[in-house]
Chain A
Amino acid sequence: MTTSIKDQTAIVGVGATPYYRRGESLPQTTMEMACKAILAACDDAGLSIDDVDGFSIYSGSIDPASVAQVLGIPEIRWATTTTSGGGGASGCVGVGSAAIVTGMATTVVSLMTLQQAKWRIGGTSDKRPDPRSGSGSVYGGQSVSPETGFMVPYGLSAPGHSFSLLAQRHMALYGTKREHFAEVVISQRDNASRRETAIKREPLTLDDYFNARMISEPLCLLDYTLETDGAVAVITTSADRARDLKQQPVYVMGSAHGGSGRWGQFIGWYQMPDDIFASSGHRPVAKRAYEMAGITAADVDVALLYDHFSPMVLMQLEDYGFCPIGESGAFVADGNIRWKTGSIPVNTHGGNLSEAYIIGMTHIREAVEQLRGVAVNQVDNAEIALTTGGPAALPVSCLLLRR
């Protein structure tokens, strides 16, 4: 009896609301958007909502009990959330696959829903306390706890600060330049320009990039993720069952979530050893997922890399073995991440930077469309896709999918 999830499960349905600018999804609630996405995913798969018996989510995005009540789900057999914000985005599909392979559940929903009307992720400020952060956020909030008190007094106000610290070190160690960040931004905007779902579609030039407002050096406004509302859900079931459903199955080859213990609470401590400090934290999960799948970076046809901040795309290229450590700047400068012409097209959907930020679920959606052969920016003969969740505090995660 196998104990690996490799090729044992498949994503069979994807559903989504439109992507909205921050706050423009009102008067819908996050619950409403989640349910719409789940029902759309069931419809896409040719399943009934009654078939759903599991939730493998991340960041506590939705309460399975509430969803079960609202949608009339007969029984829940699995209800887990991967911790750490966007870090668990891809890995939660792997967790759901483990539930299915063990027989503990059969049909598992993974999703994210968000609305940033009343509060903004990462928009915390000393002056405008974020009641959702309370005293638990290193970025400030209504008060400061003894633990977060080592960061907050120094004006650390948002995740952009944390990632600026990593980016600055990467530049000093390896000679990475802002032009390299710009290449990520411009390439993804180019991809988004062809997509009706994208929030930002106007093409960008290098001048546009360097004229953009600096937020916290070395990151400017264009290096930051969009702030958007919306919901995206996927449904995973056994490979056998998948073959009888409506869509071509997208098989889970491998997945991992976690990271080095020393990566630990990156955003809280910053004491990762120097050899991994200026990285995405993904090397351990990349290794485990590739081993589980029995492949290497060379086998990946399209990469949907979590891009809340452009330098983190560069660091993930290194950590997933698409180029040597420290050489991602030159790698992207050579055009390697471009759709159509690049050796490894990255974020063909435009990503968090240009399409929409649904905390990593749009990356899974795009991977599924690529492998079904229906993507807007279709990579020819795409067979294997990589999606990632985070960089973030531990755990970070990834998912390897194939058609």
Chain B
Amino acid sequence: MEGEAPATLADAPRMLPPLTDLNRPFWTGGARGELLIQRCQGCGTWVHPPTDRCPSCDGELRAEPVSGRGNVFTFTINRHPYNPAVPLPYVIALVELAEQEGLRFMTNIVGCEPDEVEIGMAVRVQFEDRGEIFVPVFAPDPDAG
């Protein structure tokens, strides 16, 4: 084991994906502070994970910025050292974006104690700068409620 885990998740190693044409907007939009999600140019449906055509109407998909706001749909607080280099505990959550019901993706909740996370909590995206990739994570939304 290589020494202690860093103090925060932002300094911990993350296994990051290779970038492709499809996923590049999602993983790099954070450089401009944008969370980019594909939107069907035909029916307006937001689609994630990114894919080639709209699953609803076969329309063309283009990455557009969302508001970055959402709520915690569900979460779990991991307390097991699967990777000793990652500080514990950390929160894995599904955040549902405000733009569309069911538009959810996995993320970490940061900026609060794990015990403060609740289902339904309003959150807003922020980005962890990992060089080429900006990892979307979510923190309690200061403007909510």
Contact = CB atoms under 8 A, between A and B. Distances in A.
Contact of A165 (B17, B85, B92): B92
Contacts, number: 116
B83 interface: yes
Given A158-B82, A215-B80, A152 B15 contact: yes
Interface stretch (A22-30, A59-67, A138-146): A138-146
B61 to A, nearest CB: 16
Interface in A161-177: 161, 164-166, 168-169, 172
Interface string B89-129: 01010100000011111111000000000011000000000
A219 B75 CA distance: 12
Contacts of A277: 73-74
A215 B15 contact: no
A212 to B, nearest CB: 12
A126 B104 contact: no
Residues of B contacting A: mostly: loop
Chain B, interface size: which category?
Answer: 35 or more
B56 interface: no
A314 B104 CA distance: 25
A273 interface: yes
B74 A168 contact: yes
B86 A155 contact: yes
A157 B78 contact: yes
Interface in A282-321: none
B83 A165 contact: no
Nearest to A147: B49
A127 B83 CA distance: 5
Interface in A208-245: 214-219
B106 A154 contact: yes
Interface string B68-89: 0000011111111011111000
A143 B15 CA distance: 8
B18 interface: yes
- In this complex, which of B20, B82, B94, B135 has the most chain A Cβ atoms within 10 angstroms of its Cβ? B82
Given A165-B92, A165-B94, A271-B104, A146 B82 contact: no
Contact of A168 (B15, B27, B119): B119
Nearest to A269: B49
A164 B76 contact: yes
B18 to A, nearest CB: 6
A217 B79 contact: yes
A172 B78 CA distance: 18
Contacts of B19: 146
13 contacts: A127-B83, A144-B17, A149-B17, A164-B76, A165-B74, A165-B92, A168-B119, A172-B120, A215-B79, A216-B80, A218-B76, A270-B105, A274-B102
Given A150-B23, A165-B75, A217-B76, 6 more contacts: A149-B23, A158-B82, A168-B74, A169-B73, A216-B78, A270-B94
